[in-house]
Amino acid sequence: MAKKKLNVGMIGYGFMGRAHSNAFRKVSNFFDNEYVPVMKAACARDADKVKAFADTWGYESTETDWRKLIERKDIDAVDICVPNNLHKEISIAAAEAGKMILCEKPLAMNAAEGEEMCKAVEKAGVLNTVWYNYRRVPAVSLAKQLIDEGRLGKIFHYRAVFLQDWTISEDLPQGGAGLWRLDSAAAGSGVTGDLLAHCIDTALWLNGSMSNVTAMTETFIKERTHTATGKKQPVRIDDACAFLAHFKNGSLATFESTRYARGHKALYTFEINGEHASIQWDLHDLHRLNYFDHRDDSIVRGWRSVHVTDGDMPYMGHWWVPGLQIGYEHSFVHQVADFLGNVAKGESTSPTFRDALETQYVCDAVLDSAKSGKWEEVGK
């Protein structure tokens, strides 16, 4: 197959910049697409740091102004890996410049921003996707397949948590390189946009739309030193958030996220209970899917721990042999592989900006409910 090049410009070089760069760099070793990504340029404000980043990852050039990057004719697609408060401006500019866009999640600071962004990409007709990477962990993709095959039957319950424990210390500051997630000016919200957004994206994908929610949030540590000012400032993000929800298919749901659950590093788990079968998944053992099927013979009925490493399971035919697991980083490779395949078809890749906007509506309803103390309808 004759290969076509897709020139990528990366904005940002933090944790997600690395995860995406790794995906662009290795996708064509394992997936055979018509389009192959070319790591054309990396962009960030600090010239030295972005140069070092580009050298490490093999980007051909660097920029220090994202507007310059977007103007470049040799860039086909822009990858946005900067804090949430910059997603809107860059996305709209990139759309107007006719670039394809891969935007880190959450799409925006709130639904209002997200609506503007959707209009921009749709008006410009540019291909787009949002990096809710967990959809493409093979076990999660397999869950989607099992549901679509009707194996679960009518769904009664959905429950998800995303538990971490890294901000329990009062000495941790807010703001700065690794800590912008604690600064509401950069992050918008706390665990709701950072962690629950993942849970919500997966849930909407697997179980359809939500009707309404009731929520509570908490900020356990009220003040933290801000790295920009060196002073104690109020913490305005949510340290923890839990909510109840009704899905439009009649199922009930509970969601919870916190950074104060001692013992959990990044424990994203979900469980879905259907009439005939149930599914469980857990990010700490992301290569397994637990499956229970009530139609099994009663004396040998039990939760099955499926080791999702066989060639007939989603994405796995591209990797190693049964029993040999892949990890976190591969979910990004899969999203790039799908993106490249969809570019050839002229299609955006799910979750698109429009898909991710629905998550934003849920997040807004959750944060509104936490303030109002009432059930809130999921917008639009």
Give the one residue of 29, 171, 229, 346 binding its own copies; rule: CB under 8 A. Answer: 29
Beta-bridge mates of residue 270:
160, 281
Q: How far is CA 79 from the centre of its chain?
A: 14
Give the one residue of 51, 266, 368, 379 binding its own copies; rule: CB under 8 A. Answer: 266
Give the one residue of 65, 71, 74, 275 binding its own copies; rule: CB under 8 A. Answer: 275
Residue 124 binds to its own copies (criterion: CB under 8 A): no
Number of chain positions touching its own copies (CB under 8 A) = 95
List the Cα angle 98/104/110 in 5-degree steps. Answer: 95
Give the one residue of 2, 231, 263, 346 binding its own copies; rule: CB under 8 A. Answer: 263
Residue 33 binds to its own copies (criterion: CB under 8 A): no
Residue 276 binds to its own copies (criterion: CB under 8 A): yes
Give CA–CA dist 8/13, Å, rounded. 14
Closest distance to its own copies from the beta carbon of 218 (Å): 6
Residue 321 binds to its own copies (criterion: CB under 8 A): yes
Positions 215 through 234 that interact with its own copies (CB under 8 A): 215-216, 218, 220
Positions 125 through 144 that interact with its own copies (CB under 8 A): 142
What's the token pair of residue 304? 């099955």
Dihedral of CA atoms 14, 18, 24, 28 in degrees, nearest 10, equals 180
- Tell me whether strands 128-130 and 100-103 are parallel, antiparallel or unpaired: parallel
Residues composing the chain: 380
- Would you say 209 or 305 has its CB closer to its own copies? 305
Give the one residue of 132, 134, 281, 291 binding its own copies; rule: CB under 8 A. Answer: 291
Residue 145 binds to its own copies (criterion: CB under 8 A): yes
Residue 293 binds to its own copies (criterion: CB under 8 A): yes
Beta strands in 31-104 (DSSP E): 35-43, 61-63, 77-80, 100-103
Nearest residue to 16 via CA among 196, 191, 178: 178
